[in-house]
Amino acid sequence: MYIRTICYFFAILVCSGLSTANRLPDDPPNVLLIFSDDLSTRIGPYLAQEGHTPHLDALAARGVQFQRAYCQFPLCGPSRASIMSGLYPETNGVLGNQHVEGSYRGSNPALADHPSLAGFFREQGYFTARVSKIFHMGVPGGIERGEAGDDDPDSWDFAVNIMGPETLSPGEIELLSPEHPHYGSSFARMKVPDTLQETQTDYLATSQAIAILESRAARTIPGATNKLKIKPAEPFLLAVGLVRPHVPFIAPDNCFDPYPDEDMKIPEASIDPDLPTAAYSNRNNRIWKMSEEQQRQSISGYLASVRFMDQQVGRLVAALERLDLDENTIVVFVSDHGFLLGEHDSWQKVNLWEGTIRVPLIIADPRYPEQHGKTAGGIAELIDLYPTLAELCGLEDHLPDRLQGVPQAPVIHSGVAMDSTRLAYTITNRGRYASIRQGQYHYIRWGEEAEDGNEALFHLGNDPEEHLNLATSAAHSEILARMRSLLKEKQGER
């Protein structure tokens, strides 16, 4: 009886061990998921500006760079909730920055039984960790207070908020939009002495992330006994949130050097008087009231912040290499949404222009070197990340039923051409304003129904800066009708 009981418990132990292990394929890759905040496609790999973002350039050279990836809502909270849930904002119900401390779910029934991307990997047997801002966190206030923001505790085995000094950093803060002194959206910049870069939020986050990589690396220590060998059993998914280039633009001196104010160019703006006021809700004189000099200083501050963020990406990738994790770790680099720096005389986010909805997306999978350095030109949505990563890690058979993205894994591992009919759907204002990107066309509607003057249609192949609205052109009436019906279809899916 005694022996039978021991065997019984032993069997339970073996089975429970196998039940988790069974879900994982042999030798599953690790995932390093790097989020930047408010980063537009004004970066090296997208603009071919040599030396601007050397570390992202290097990452793009060892992965696939998506040329036309679009967020689903150009604001931190809903975009991140959408990426992490794999659902459109109208489906998951997160239509604004939640401000429910410590929970992106709140009491939202749409998310009650739905694991996040990281939560799903955790359920499959991955060790999952978060450093700093993955779900929404207030920048700079929430960071200065070290808050968890709208996190999802179920997603992580280990999570750490970074308490960074932000506006309290060792330097002099210059308010560049003195008539709009809002804590989270004013334009401001600060140059921190290079010797004090370690004080900075993103530097601290990266150091913490590297410490996690150290502890997860399977290494043989020469001369060590077995007890001293570090060999964690599970693969990891490590999500690292960098908060730059979100305002305020704080970076070490060396990052400002390549961007003197006088060299910064304010984009040429054409304002279409036939479009509704909502199209231009982010105009400089409506909110920030910056002088031309202050606008140039803001652009310089943004680019300096991008440079500092890029340096942190370099530190993360170098740590992977040093720890021999680089051959089995997929690195994903993404931003939550784009950002305008004077295009359409508009600044920042929460509008539907191309520069705000389009984001950088690089997926570097070391196992498929023949795809390295390639660009993928088709349209992708950020809700694609969830099923894409699951498939790259061999977990696609266990995905939750309700996901709205398309797995792009075949593009990563085999260079399969992307679906040319794919569209990207993005909203603001709880869905009352919406955008459809398909092929070369961009359709925007500021209103629930099509009305005279509340629509815009651009051909980005001919007009990449979106100056010429074709919505009233008779020659484009068929395309306009198609875009309207695609929008209706998307709204039906929510």
The CA dihedral of 116, 384, 99, 427, to the nearest 10 degrees, is: -150
For residue 353, the minimal CB distance to Ca ion (Å) is: 16
Nearer to Ca ion, 37 or 354 (CB): 37
Other beta carbons within 10 Å of 354: 23
**Residue 345 interacts with Ca ion (CB under 5 A)?**
no
Among the listed residues 336, 354, 381, 455, the single contact to Ca ion using CB under 5 A: 336
Contacts of 240 (CB under 8 A, 6+ apart): 32, 33, 34, 35, 131, 132, 205, 206, 209, 316
- Piece of the chain touching Ca ion by CB under 5 A; list 4-12, 19-27, 73-81, 145-153: 73-81
Site string for Ca ion, 220-239 (x = CB under 5 A): --------------------
The answer to whether residue 38 forms part of the interface with Ca ion (CB under 5 A) is yes
Q: Supply the minimum distance, in Å, between the C-beta of residue 131 and Ca ion.
A: 17
Which range binds Ca ion by CB under 5 A, 30-38, 60-68, 290-298, 448-456? Answer: 30-38
Residue 324 Cβ, how far from Ca ion at the closest point, in Å?
Answer: 33
Q: How far is the CB of 243 from Ca ion (least distance, A)?
A: 9
90 binds Ca ion per the rule CB under 5 A: no
Residues in the interface with Ca ion (CB under 5 A) total 4
- Please give the Cα distance from 265 to 260 (Å, whole number): 11
Residue closer to Ca ion, measured from CB, 326 or 336: 336
Residue (32 or 76) nearer to Ca ion, CB: 76
Q: Judged by CB, which is closer to Ca ion: 350, or 486?
A: 350
Part in contact with Ca ion (CB under 5 A); list of ranges 69-77, 198-206, 324-332, 433-441: 69-77
Q: Indicate the angle between helix axes 292-322 and 54-61, nearest 10 degrees.
A: 50
Q: Which is nearer to Ca ion, 76 or 331 (CB)?
A: 76
In the complex, what is the shortest distance from the CB of residue 309 to Ca ion, in angstroms, rounded to a whole number?
12
* Distance of alpha carbon 383 from alpha carbon 114, whole angstroms: 14
Structure tokens of 7? 């065997």
- What does residue 436 show for φ and ψ, rounded to 5 degrees? -125, 125
Q: Are 436 and 422 in contact (CB under 8 A)?
A: no
CB 135 within 8 A of CB 404: no
76 binds Ca ion (CB under 5 A): yes
* Distance in Å, CB of 339 to Ca ion, minimum: 8
Binding of residue 202 to Ca ion (CB under 5 A) = no
Q: Using the rule CB under 5 A, give the single segment among 75-83, 170-178, 207-215, 421-429 that binds Ca ion.
A: 75-83
Q: Which of 24, 37, 303, 325 binds Ca ion (CB under 5 A)?
A: 37
Take residue 242 and report the two structure tokens written for it: 């960098």
Pick 382 or 470: Cβ nearer Ca ion: 382
**Segment contacting Ca ion by CB under 5 A, of 31-39, 202-210, 287-295, 428-436:** 31-39
Phi-psi bin for 237: left (phi > 0), alpha (psi -120 to 50), beta? beta
**Residue ranges in contact with Ca ion by CB under 5 A:** 37-38, 76, 336
